[in-house]
Structure 1
């Protein structure tokens, strides 16, 4: 017989793993095209008007590398992956909100420099909604991580 609650514990572990894999998959899918053509991604970043010209290419190189690092940390079940993903999503949500506020009609640059969602769905709003929805698996990952930590230290839930 299984101990009481072990089925739900296994289920939450799989849900946590699924949430992390989903986030990691999205971040991997997003970073790879940008890593292959950083100059094109730098042009997308320039369209937001937030950075001086000399920072565009360095950011276009570093940002996808940070996305890759976040994905790898998530896949390795590291809490740092959750924190890095949270920081990245916070930045992305802020930048997208800024672009919407200004009324920019540009490619969000989320998945590549030629993101097809821009022409199909008015890029920035759809990207913002998607990023806000990504907070759901991220929040679950944090909840699972912290609830697992509290039960390891003998605290009651």
Structure 2
């Protein structure tokens, strides 16, 4: 298992996979901000008038952090991790309320929501993405330790 976490190509591949997921999700949402604002409103979390601003700001942050992760900028993975915690909290809230709405994760009218109809499925997918993110983090940490220990006299 040590080799897995120390392999630079595995680290890069996982990092690009996670970045690609968020780049895709952010781009799709940004392309139809009005519909995404309707999805945000359906959760009933934000005060009136804020969903339009969030429908623009959230995808921009996702895209920016994804691009930063592609170039391995410090803080990008942590930013995406924080977004995932927020997304999962909102999905959990929707599940507790029994909402039967589109999650909006990959834009409005997400094909997954039509196929599986459920916030629970989106939550499970988000847990899977968090596992990928944890692997990126572990690979980064282990790779740094290995790199530092090789340079020590």
**Taking structure 1 as reference, are residues 116 and 150 closer, same or farther at Cα in structure 2, changes over 3 Å only?**
same
Given the two structures, how large is their TM-score scaled by the length of structure 1? 0.87
The answer for the alignment partner of 2:78 in structure 1 is 83
Conservation of the 8 A alpha-carbon contact between 2:5 and 2:142: no
Distance 2:23 2:147 in 1: 31
**CA offsets 1:4-61 (integer angstroms, 9 cap, x no match):** xxxx479721111111111111111111121112111110000000001121111100
The gaps in structure 1 that reach 5 residues or longer are: 1-7
CA displacement at 1:154 relative to structure 2: 3.0
Give the CA RMSD over aligned residues: 2.0
1:31 to 26, 30, 37: 26
Given the two structures, how large is their TM-score scaled by the length of structure 2? 0.89
The answer for the alignment partner of 2:138 in structure 1 is 143
Secondary structure in 1 matching 2:136 = helix
**Taking structure 1 as reference, are residues 19 and 58 closer, same or farther at Cα in structure 2, changes over 3 Å only?**
same
Which is greater in Rg?
1
1:64 to 59, 64, 69: 59
Distance 2:59 2:4 in 1: 34
Distance 1:141 1:10 in 2: 8
The gaps in structure 2 that reach 5 residues or longer are: none
Secondary structure in 2 matching 1:79 = coil
